[in-house]
Chains A and B, each alone.
Chain A
Amino acid sequence: MSNLNVTKNNEEQHEAASNDRHQHLNLKPEDFRKIDTSGLNAEVISRESVSVWRDAMERVVSNKLAMICLFILLAITVMSFIGPYLTPYDYETNDLMNTNQPPSKEHWFGTDDLGRDMFERTWMGASISLRVGLFAALIDLVIGIIYGGIMGYFGGRVDEIMNRAAEILYSIPTLLIVILLVVVMEPSLFTIVLAIGITGWVNMAWIVRGQVMQLKNQEYVLASRSLGASASRIIFRHLIPNAMGPIIVTLTLTVPSAIFAEAFLSFLGLGVQSPAASWGTMIEDARSAMKVFPWRIFFPALFISLTMLAFNIFGDALRDAFDPKLKR
């Protein structure tokens, strides 16, 4: 085929070529009959229908590392339920004849200084950690999203007041709240959960607020408003679902930080009390004898690290999946 500025010579060649070009087709006049194109033109969409959700999910599933992490998290969850039933021991019975045992056939993860089975206690700790994580996620989802959604959507004075309140809460260190709570109540899982509940949602509220502020001027929100939609309809049907990516990512970061907070507070003796076990208290118990009986610190530390790592990597994968632009 040719361009515009062919020389005379080229042109002749091209003429010849264009006649030759179709010779093999043996064109007949019938080929040039006009046909009806209404069938061809039926605005058919040939690509397969994919929702934004499914698209993101498929991208997560195709990420091997993320899937390994998800598997680890599921395994830990399952073990927190069935782990305690796999051995004949329970987490609180002392066996002073068998203290500080290394891992063996009888005690798979060894025993602690009171002869309690470490395998048992590790999964007990897992169940406490996961419960704390779950609770924190729940607080995020309910209070964080509603509070943030309202701040972001209404803006102005409402936003200013609510934001100030959130800032005040956020400025109180969790540790201080726990210590204050312990003064009033006994140190327990409940105090930790309460402390996390008081401040934990603020971060999520801010994330949601930012997202909502960005999204609320989108034309589809204006369209909904011009149809007469109520504020709650706009927030929960249009704004929150479109902020789901950042919300999920924040959740996957909230959970491990809550787990870590529990472990840390328990480590300081402000949380779960003996004989109940959490990964934090187990590490605290093992700390003094770390050099002599290293397995006692190894298992709880291993599972804390694994859980945190798995959540973080999985959260990263989710972020990439919801916002493919970030990925290089």
Chain B
Amino acid sequence: MKSDNKLRNSSIGQTNAQPLLEVEDLHVSFDVRGGEVQAVRGVNMVINKGEVVGIVGESGCGKSVTAQTLMRLIPSPPSRVKKGSIRFAGEDVLKKSEKEMQQLRGGRMGMIFQDPMTSLNPTMTVGRQITENLIRHRNMSMKEAHKRGVEMLNLVGIPLAETRMKQYPHEFSGGMRQRVMIAIALACDPELLIADEPTTALDVTIQAQILEVMKELRNRLNTSIMLITHDLGIVADVCDKVIVMYAGQVAETGTVHEIFNNPKHPYTQGLLESIPRLDDDKSQPLVPIPGTPPDLIKPPTGCAFAARCKYTMDICTRVDPGLFECSSTQSARCWLNHEMAKEVHA
């Protein structure tokens, strides 16, 4: 796992990294009774080739909506992209036709969802579900596709792959199904794998197995992974870069080391302080973040986190800080990073 660490660091140091996915000023809203929920409010992010980016945040922070918008999987209405652009390998995703999107999804973009029980078709054999994608996206013959399918099942650690190809999803356990999902998602060698809470529905011992599989795949195939999770432990384990989202915005971004060792946003700090660590002794009290996230039907003016923050200043309730650059790789949406704040509180 030492080598794993090296690999992780090297991909960050690259200044000439090639961006694979670029999201710029994305705004997504939902029309609901009584108004408009501004689920995503100006998100920017870049995922480079071969990078594992963790997106962390609480439910309703816009992380899943962002991911689903990337794949254009979110039904519209009620959702709509109000503003912004998404470029995947240089092409504008939002301008593509549904047919072109179908080519992209499952081909160059793979995806894994939270619930392995419902993301597989119960009436089709697992083999068919893997090969179908290969035949459609890679123009493979039935025979080639089958061979590749067996290969993929072996890759994700499913024993007796030949037999397993002929079985139906219900004959697989939860962890095995999630492996099948990964196998399907990776069969066409996608450049980007979007994993939305891939292990949340699984037990820890199974989660450990799946995380091992994902790490190995990244090292072997150099796939970019966008890993959406609420578990900071998983992020620390597998990610290179972290994007912390709060109330539909990026609160902080940085390398995994910056985020965990030197967080610049009070929300990130709060998240880290509010979870107990297995390797800590328990005398250290948990510091919860008080209150609840704002209702995005009426987002607050100023900083969205101001009402729950320990350090709220006068300016915070009035003006949204925007992202402050803290290093070449880290930025935080917080007024504390303004020079004047540093002076005042010095």
Q: What size tier do the contact residues of chain A reach?
A: 20 to 34
A1 touches B314 (CB 8 A): no
Q: Quick check: which of A36-44, A116-124, A145-153, A208-216 contacts chain B, the rest being far away?
A: A36-44
Q: Which residue of B lies closest to A19 (CB)?
A: B339
Chain A residues with CB under 8 Å of B317's CB are 35, 40
Which single member of B48, B255, B307 contacts A37 (CB below 8 Å)? B307
In the complex the two chains form, what is the Cα distance from A261 to B335 in whole Å?
Answer: 74
Shortest A254–chain B CB gap in Å is: 31
A31 touches B297 (CB 8 A): no
A31 touches B315 (CB 8 A): yes
Chain A residues with CB under 8 Å of B19's CB are 5
B46 touches A22 (CB 8 A): no
Q: Does A104 contact B (CB under 8 A)?
A: no
Chain A residues with CB under 8 Å of B285's CB are none
A3 touches B45 (CB 8 A): yes
Interface readout for A193-226 with B: 1 if CB under 8 Å, 0 if not?
0000000000000000000000000000000000
Shortest B18–chain A CB gap in Å is: 10
Shortest A153–chain B CB gap in Å is: 29
Which single member of A25, A37, A47 contacts B295 (CB below 8 Å)? A47
A33 touches B313 (CB 8 A): yes
Which single member of B34, B330, B343 contacts A4 (CB below 8 Å)? B330
In the complex the two chains form, what is the Cα distance from A48 to B322 in whole Å?
Answer: 31
Which single member of A30, A46, A47 contacts B314 (CB below 8 Å)? A30
B17 touches A2 (CB 8 A): no
Shortest B343–chain A CB gap in Å is: 7
Q: A4-B241, A32-B315 are in contact. Are A15 and B341 (CB under 8 A)?
A: no
Chain B residues with CB under 8 Å of A28's CB are 340
Shortest B203–chain A CB gap in Å is: 21
Interface residues of A in 1-35 (CB under 8 A from B): 1-8, 11, 14-15, 18, 21-22, 25, 27-35
A29 touches B297 (CB 8 A): no
Q: A2-B325, A4-B330, A47-B295 are in contact. Are A34 and B338 (CB under 8 A)?
A: no
Shortest A32–chain B CB gap in Å is: 4
Which single member of B48, B295, B306, B341 contacts A5 (CB below 8 Å)? B48
In the complex the two chains form, what is the Cα distance from A3 to B297 in whole Å?
Answer: 27
Q: Interface residues of B, CB < 8 Å — how many? A: 47
Shortest A152–chain B CB gap in Å is: 26
Total CB contacts across the A-B interface at under 8 A: 100
Chain B residues with CB under 8 Å of A21's CB are 322
Q: Does B329 contact A (CB under 8 A)?
A: yes
Interface readout for A242-273 with B: 1 if CB under 8 Å, 0 if not?
00000000000000000000000000000000
In the complex the two chains form, what is the Cα distance from A192 to B311 in whole Å?
Answer: 76
> What is the interface of chain A mostly: helix, strand, loop, or mixed?
loop
Which single member of B22, B290, B298, B315 contacts A27 (CB below 8 Å)? B315
In the complex the two chains form, what is the Cα distance from A303 to B47 in whole Å?
Answer: 66
In the complex the two chains form, what is the Cα distance from A7 to B329 in whole Å?
Answer: 10
B323 touches A35 (CB 8 A): no
A46 touches B295 (CB 8 A): yes
Chain A residues with CB under 8 Å of B44's CB are 1-3
B46 touches A3 (CB 8 A): yes
A27 touches B297 (CB 8 A): no
Chain A residues with CB under 8 Å of B48's CB are 5
Q: A11-B325, A32-B315 are in contact. Are A2 and B335 (CB under 8 A)?
A: no
A32 touches B45 (CB 8 A): no
Q: A4-B330, A7-B15, A46-B297 are in contact. Are A33 and B344 (CB under 8 A)?
A: yes
Chain A residues with CB under 8 Å of B178's CB are none
A34 touches B322 (CB 8 A): no
Chain B residues with CB under 8 Å of A31's CB are 313-315, 340
Which single member of A3, A7, A40, A48 contacts B307 (CB below 8 Å)? A40
- 9 A-B pairs with the lowest CB-CB distances in the bound complex, closest first: A40-B307, A3-B46, A31-B315, A32-B344, A1-B323, A41-B291, A32-B341, A37-B312, A4-B329
Other contacts beyond A25-B319, A40-B306: 5, CB < 8 A: A1-B322, A5-B15, A8-B328, A35-B317, A47-B34
